[in-house]
Structure 1
Amino acid sequence: MESRGVNSLAVGGLVNYRAEYRKEGYGYISEVMLEYGKVKNKDQLQKKTRDRIFWDNKADLRLSKSWYFFGSVTFESQFDRGYAYYRDGNNEEQASLVSKFMSPGYLTESIGFEYKPVGYFSTRIGTGTAKQTFKLDTTVNQQYNGGNYGVERGKNFKNELAFQIVSNFDKQIFKNVNLKARYQMFIPYDRPLVHVDHRLDVELRSQINRLMNVTLTGVGLFDKDSDPEIQASQALALGVAFTFPR
């Protein structure tokens, strides 16, 4: 049996910025994550490996040793166009546009209580949460995104009220090895429980030296407005890291 490899070229980048201000019982945290990557396999079209804009802002008031009252605003979208790929009758790879910047885009406002027993773990319980879903380009192909991202067809905006839980874990678990995870559950008040959204982001990072690191990342997503099935992706990367002074 003859086995042949496929030549490929991949490039990607990640920007992670976090600012925190705390004075007495008040605090404010702003975190930005920008991700983008592409891969080109021989005889195939270019494909995105990662594409995300994430900006989370949270203000809190300390109530006790481990409990806070918080308010947050979170924005999520993507930089580039996204495609669904298929083979035509001549076995040629074709692409159909299914997403782009702000199609979809998400803006989430939440108030509630946060439990933070230790510095590396916290859980937000957003009893009052509103999420706006944007699909500004109504011409984007609707065949591949299930429920049109939850937006009514022909429209470009949807508002939902929900109960939300967001848990964060960020700790150095071994020497030069850091584990970072974020789990988010979104429960709409006006729809059956089958429409509960889940997202899990996990990153395992090992620092080789001052400039180089190895990262293993994984994403699990279940959102019936985007796809009836569980979506998952993983990536292993060797990269150059730059840390800027605060």
Structure 2
Amino acid sequence: MSRPEIAIATEKPKTLYLTLEILKKLEISSMVCTPDDEVCSLAKVLLSTEEEAPDLSDPRLVLLGETPDEEQVRIEILMRLNDISSPSFVVAGIDPGYRYGLALNMDEVVVSTHVTRSPLKAANMVLRWSDYISETYPGCRFLVRVGTGSPLYSMLVIRPILKHRASTDIELVDEHHTTITSGPEADISSAVLIALRSGEAVTPSTLELEPRTGHIRSLKRLVNRLTGGHRSISTAEAKRLLSGDLSLREVVTPLEPL
């Protein structure tokens, strides 16, 4: 019998269905088995619930809740497939712009990627990653690296991260030569490269932007897009956003689902 990469050992219909949906998105094949099936012992990664797992100390095990956390399951599967048990250094790479590319790099292995058009959703994902790392691997260093190709869009994702967790380590990284492809994957590939580059630590002056006409125009378009045209901002509000007196979250919430 060939060794399957992933085995799912659960007889709970809802958990099984949701887990298969997660694996479908990851484009990873798997086998479904009962907890006492031989396939469980052969698989490189074993997905099961706390009640059904043959051995809770098995290093291959990824525990599933009744409603599995898609992001956590994704990360832990890729960790085990790449033989990462206790990471020492984790970097979130962000390629800011009209679309935000996000990449989570764990000991130089990419374990999660996302693309979003919202700087707030990008910040939320990075904060989720930070929470997961600090809770699961308390001795691991977590660093955020943000590309500098667009100062406005960089600022829009950095500010909400620091507002919710002021102690977050953030570096600004030169984006030169990080765009090596085109199309939907360009933002992700750039984020991956940004995560691998050293940068300069963010300072208070980093978050300061002049109220230039281009920045004001871009902010007006962004707010309109994020709220589906239900909210527009004045030039005065755009200037307050640039100065930090007003946050993007205050402007678009609850019109944008976060």
TM-score range, shorter chain: under 0.3
**What is the TM-score of this pair, normalised by structure 1?**
0.25
Task: Give 1 or 2: higher helix fraction.
Answer: 2
What's the TM-score, normalizing by structure 2?
A: 0.24
Relative contact order higher in (CA < 8 Å, ≥ 6 apart):
2
